[in-house]
Amino acid sequence: MISTLFSRRRSLAALLVAGALGLSGCASGDEAPASSFVLLDGSTTTTADLKGKVTLVNFWATTCVTCVKEMPSLVSTHQKYKDKGYETIAVAMSYDQPAWVANYAQSRQLPFKVALDNTGELAKNWGDVKLTPTTYLVDKQGRIVKRFVGEPDFAALHNLIEDLLAKS
């Protein structure tokens, strides 16, 4: 009885912490939120434009140590799958200075789309993202397949991408 009570309290506490940290919201199986991504060059890409592709949407910041650490792996993942129907969009958080994002993208020659979330609306729509990096993998039909908070296991991510690319 007492262990059940403590177990329930821990579960409730975990749910409350997850909600407070923005870990609720968009989950596996959910339709990706209808979004318009404003890219560094001023152009726009929408989630509707991405249907038919396996897409990785990565929320990051130039001031996030883990984000900067994982960026070379995101680049190599993009390079490995880009010609097979795979797209990457790196969404800079609203608190990130646009000039810093542009400088980072240019100096690192990021080969994928980099978007600015100036208003915070994208992060809010994608599950109220507060922690970076937070990454979503979206299938060809526009459904969220997996959400990663923190740096993903890239070997497992690659296996998942390959499975999704093989599906019609």
pLDDT digits over 109-120, tens only?
Answer: 999 999 999 999
The whole-number pLDDT of residue 29 equals 77
Q: Output the pLDDT for position 168.
A: 77
d(CA 120, CA 130): 10
Pair 73, 156: CB distance under 8 Å: no
pLDDT of residue 28: 65
The reported pLDDT for the residue numbered 25 is: 53
Q: For residues 121 and 113, what is the distance between their CA atoms, to the nearest angstrom? A: 18
Thinking of the domain 26-166, which architecture would CATH place it in? 3-Layer(aba) Sandwich (3.40)
Name residue, tokens 């680049």.
75
Query: Rounded to an integer, what distance in angstroms lies between the CA atom of residue 157 and that of residue 111?
Result: 19
Domain residue ranges in the chain: 26-166
Reported as a single tens digit per residue, the pLDDT across 39-96 is: 999 999 999 999 999 999 999 999 999 999 999 999 999 999 999 999 999 999 999 9
The type of residue at 126 is: W
Q: What is the distance of C-alpha 72 from the center of its chain?
A: 15
- Encoding tokens for residue 160? 């998942």
pLDDT grade for 130, boundaries at 50, 70 and 90: very high
Reply yes or no on whether the pLDDT at 17 is more than 60: no
How far is it between the farthest Cα atoms of the chain?
A: 60
- Spatial distance between the Cα atoms of 13 and 29, rounded to a whole number of angstroms: 25
Peptide bond into 152 cis (omega under 30): no
Q: What is the pLDDT of residue 156?
A: 96
Q: 16 pLDDT exceeds 50?
A: no
What is the distance between the alpha carbons of residues 3 and 11, in angstroms, rounded to a whole number? Answer: 12
pLDDT score, position 8? 39
